[in-house]
Amino acid sequence: MTAERAIARTETRDTFPKLLAELAQTRGDRPAYREKEYGIWQTYDWAHVAAQVRLLAAGLADLGFRRGDRLIVVGDNRPSLYWSMCAAQSLGGVPVPVYQDSVADELAYVVEHAGARYALAENQEQVDKLLEIQKKVPSLQTILYNDPRGMRHYEGLLSYAEVQARGEKRLAVAPDTVSAEVAQGKGSDDAIMLYTSGTTGRPKGAVLSYDNLVWAAEAGAAFDGLRAGDELLSYLPMAWVGDHIFSYAQGYVVGLVVNCPESASTVMTDLREIGPTYYFAPPRVLENLITQVTIRMEDAGLIKRRLFQSFMGVARRVGPALLDGRSVSIADRLLYGLGNLLIYGPLKNTLGMSRVRVAYTAGEAVGPEIFNFYRALGVNMKQLYGQTEASVFVTIHPNGEVFPETVGKPVSKVELKIAESGEVLYRSPGVFKEYFKNPEATNDTKTADGWVHTGDAGYLDERGHLRIIDRAKDVGKLNDGTLFAPKYIENKLKFFAHINEAVAFGDGHDFVAAFVNIDMIAVGDWAERRNIAYASYQELAARPEVYDLIQSEIEQVNRDLAADPRMAGAQIRRFLILHKALEADDGELTRTNKVRRGFIGERYKTLVDALYGTAKSAHIGVDVTFEDGRKGRIEGDVAIRDLAPHPALRKAG
């Protein structure tokens, strides 16, 4: 192939609309998307996708959508919503997906900040939010909707089908309406704007180009050998960069089959039915799955429990070695094979992981116990380290080099360095263009020569693997100089099925203290089997028996910490169980379920002060937002428990 032909080939694949046109030609009759409706899977091939995108793009053009316009996309994962992003891009526009569970004020900020004139909502719920926003943000001119249910009496709106009908008429008169715009697109154009999680303040709009995203999709696919026809279930928010890379960018670059679940409540059923070969789950999802397994085992008979515990012991010892191709004795192979027949195989099938060839977890640090659980079952689970600003991929575990304490090695063309402060920096073709309307933040994050400050503290070990300690701003020290890495401690706590969330404190104090959120399902099941009565989360969290349960698990974490020379002095000495679950709607978590540590410290300052005092309880009242949008207040007395340090911590004399 000559250089000229190579360049021409590249230019036909440098935007997603061009990649879609190629897929429609080369894989036109092959599955591209599936969607479960009314219990039945509907399959759409690449030719159908291209036709649907073209009609919608032409309809948007007829409505006045132009190059540079931004389209807000809000709703659950639906093929039509993914297609709307490509339709906007076909005209030179920039889609801006938004978290579907955002309250109106959060959504209004994005709409106004992005300067969006157009928005596409999945259903009536999202339309209502946009109509409320339109009163405050007049720049939002045109609202479209996808699902017609409940929309009969709404005026001044257009349905997805109506826009496509306008597009059909437009194409009949001007057939080059869309193709001419697609041809003008180039790799350096803005492809998407994704808003960061906003752990420390207002979310920032990270602008990514096609060059960023196409490189990332290709690099990630090459690293783990993804191939056309690989299946994944698209169930994570479309506004999250991970979903955009896996379900959209890699879908177009590789030719993946993207499966959209019927609803959030049917994800596990849909996962089992699809049996994906390519899987991603953030730590919280993996933790919840382990919780479900633990509950089922606790409810099982004695023989079944003993069998499970015995074979899981074999799995933890043998499973990871088999995955990595290390030497395993014939006896252990036979024992693991029997375990696979009786335990691991059925369990993987229940979890929907029977066909998984490559699985990633990322988004935040994952506890080694959680990570090893899946690898012990034979699931090729790897850690991936990335950011929105990197178009996801920075490091991944290579096959045969999967270590739970690391996040892998750099992906091709990614450079890493560690600053004197211990902060991790990277440079790659995936580095974002800018934060929209925020040059100061852009310059603070990205240097003139392209290095990006991650905000994470870490180091490269002797194997060339990156190890992340914690968020650089969160790593601190106790008053005696002991290293305090809150996320490390919190992840150990969250391995236990009864603990849903934890927040550790310690920087600048004499000892570590912690807030705990119980897992309502796991602790509720535990309480019912012991005939412990309760009527609400608040009542259950306050029960002395529940405190005893959580205390026993924290003491196990303390024993583990005592065995680590770096963390032995960071054992938890006091804890409390919060009277309410931490919620994104209350500003305590981000929309990606990351703890907003600073906000929590301020919101619950009374409790933090009590933990570092001598009180055995404290009264707290906080304003909350209920699921239906109503405001309220939850008050109560919260007990505080003291813990004796593990004997390894005590000093002679």
Using one digit for the tens of pLDDT, what is the confidence trace for 364-415? 777 777 889 999 999 999 999 999 999 999 999 999 999 988 999 999 999 9
Q: 529 in a domain, yes or no?
A: yes
Task: Supply the Cα-derived Rg of the chain in whole angstroms.
Answer: 26
409 Cβ contact list (under 8 Å, min separation 6): 395, 396, 397, 398, 401, 464, 465, 466
Q: How confident is the model at residue 122 (pLDDT cuts 50, 70, 90)?
A: very high
Q: What is the CATH number of the domain that holds 553?
A: 3.30.300.30
- Please write the tens of the pLDDT for every residue from 450-464: 999 999 988 999 999
Q: Are residues 306 and 262 in the same domain?
A: no
91 φ/ψ angles, rounded to the nearest 5 degrees: -100, 5
Inform me whether the pLDDT recorded for 5 exceeds 60: no
The pLDDT of residue 10: 58
In 234-362, DSSP assigns E strands to 257-260, 278-280, 358-361
Backbone dihedral angles phi then psi of residue 278, each to the nearest 5 degrees: -130, 125
Round to whole Å and give the CA distance between 512 and 490.
11
Q: Report percent pLDDT > 70 for the chain.
A: 96
User: Half-sphere exposure (CA, 13 Å, Cβ side) for 622?
Assistant: 26
* 388 and 296 part of one domain: yes
Residue the block writes with tokens 């000559």: 2
**Please, which residues bridge with residue 382 across strands?**
360
Task: Check pLDDT > 50 for residue 511.
Answer: yes
Backbone angles phi, psi at 66, to 5 degrees: -130, 170
- With 90 as the cut, is the pLDDT of residue 142 above it? yes
What integer is the mean pLDDT of 315-331?
93
pLDDT at 366: 76
* Span 435-451, average pLDDT: 96
Is residue 252 domain-shared with residue 118, that is, in the same domain?
yes
Same domain, 131 and 96: yes
What is the residue whose two structure tokens read 């192979």? 333
Q: Say if residues 151 and 124 touch (Cβ distance below 8 Å).
A: yes
Q: Using an 8 Å Cβ cutoff, are 255 and 278 in contact?
A: no
User: Could you tell me if 42 and 103 lie in one domain?
Assistant: yes
d(C-alpha 337, C-alpha 611), whole Å: 49
- Domain end, chosen from 410, 443, 471, is at 471
Structural domain contains residue 6: no
Give the pLDDT of residue 37.
87
My answer on whether 226 and 291 are in the same domain is: no
Q: Are residues 315 and 385 in the same domain?
A: yes
Burial status of residue 204 (CB atoms within 10 A of its CB: 0-12, 13-18, 19 or more): buried
| Residue that is last in its domain, among 216, 240, 266 | 266
Residue 234 has pLDDT above 90, yes or no: yes
DSSP state of 480: T
> Does residue 439 fall inside a structural domain?
no
Q: Are 515 and 605 in contact (CB under 8 A)?
A: no
pLDDT at 650 over 60: no
Residue 230 is assigned to a structural domain of this protein: yes
Residue 424 phi, psi dihedral angles, 5° rounding = -85, 130
Cα diameter, the chain: 92
pLDDT at residue 368 in the model: 79
Distance of CA 515 to the CA centre of its chain: 23
pLDDT at 261 over 80: yes
DSSP string, 223-241: HHT--TT-EEE--S-TTSH
Is 445 inside a domain boundary? no
299: left (phi over 0), alpha (psi -120 to 50) or beta: alpha
Q: Are residues 562 and 417 in the same domain?
A: no
Strands, E assignment, 511-559: 512-518
Q: What is the DSSP letter of 653?
A: -
CA distance 355 to 455: 36
Residues 250 and 319 in one domain: no
Using CB atoms within 10 A of its CB, is residue 529 exposed (0-12), middle (13-18) or buried (19+)? exposed
Query: How buried is 173 (Cβ within 10 angstroms: 0-12 exposed, 13-18 middle, 19+ buried)?
Result: exposed
User: Which residue in the block uniquely carries the two structure tokens 């404290």?
Assistant: 618
Whole-number pLDDT of residue 57? 98
Q: Is the pLDDT of residue 196 over 90?
A: no
Q: Are residues 535 and 461 in the same domain?
A: no
Query: How many separate domains does the chain show?
Result: 3
- 520-568 residue pLDDT tens: 998 999 999 999 999 999 999 999 999 999 999 999 999 989 987 778 8
Say if 434 falls within a structural domain: no
What angle do helix axes 16-26 and 79-90 make, rounded to 10 degrees? 120
Strand pairing report for 118-121 and 70-74: parallel
Structural domain contains residue 146? yes
* Cα distance between residue 523 and residue 516, in whole Å: 13
Claim to verify: residue 250 and residue 294 sit in the same structural domain:
no
Distance of CA 646 to the CA centre of its chain: 35
408 phi-psi bin (left φ>0, alpha ψ -120 to 50, beta other)? left
Beta carbons of 440 and 379 less than 8 angstroms apart: no
State the Cα angle at 470 between 469 and 471, rounded to 5°: 140
Q: Is residue 237 part of a domain?
A: yes
Token output for 507: 């920087």
Domain span at residue 413 reads 280-424+453-471
Q: What is the CATH number of the domain that holds 51?
A: 3.40.50.980
What's the CA gap between 60 and 69, in Å, rounded? 11
User: Which of 12-16, 111-115, 429-433 has the least mean pLDDT?
Assistant: 12-16
* CA dihedral sign of residues 589, 592, 594, 598: negative
Token pair belonging to 296: 């089922």
Q: Which of 443-447, 471-475, 649-653 has the lowest average pLDDT?
A: 649-653
Are residue 313 and residue 372 in the same domain, yes or no? Answer: yes
